[in-house]
Amino acid sequence: MRLGHVSPALLNKLVSKDLVVSLPSIKFNDDKVCEAYARGKQVRKYFKLKNYASTLRPLELLHVDLCGPMRITSRGGKRYVLVIVDDYYHFT
């Protein structure tokens, strides 16, 4: 679900009339958007699927992703995971 927030004008009205307990008495700007609101409004675009390999030989194009730090360590004590996918064979 997307996040929704009240407008800064409404927040300023609540502060001026002292209608909310423990709301800080500051002036809220219209030009600033909080980070959670901006992330909630982002829309993910999907790539179109293709039925052919765009590479001509193995190891020509690699997709690399680094994940971590993980809460639970591996048996070797590592907290990061490196995933490499070959575009030709789709081997991980």
Cis omega (within 30 of 0) on the bond before 24?
no
Q: Strand (E) positions, 8-87?
A: 62-67, 81-86
Per-residue pLDDT at 2:
46
Q: List the chain residues with pLDDT less than 50.
A: 1-3
Give yes or no for a contact between 57 and 88, defined as CB atoms under 8 angstroms apart.
Answer: yes
Q: Does the predicted model carry a pTM greater than 0.85?
A: no
Q: What pLDDT, on the 0 to 100 scale, is given for residue 4?
A: 58
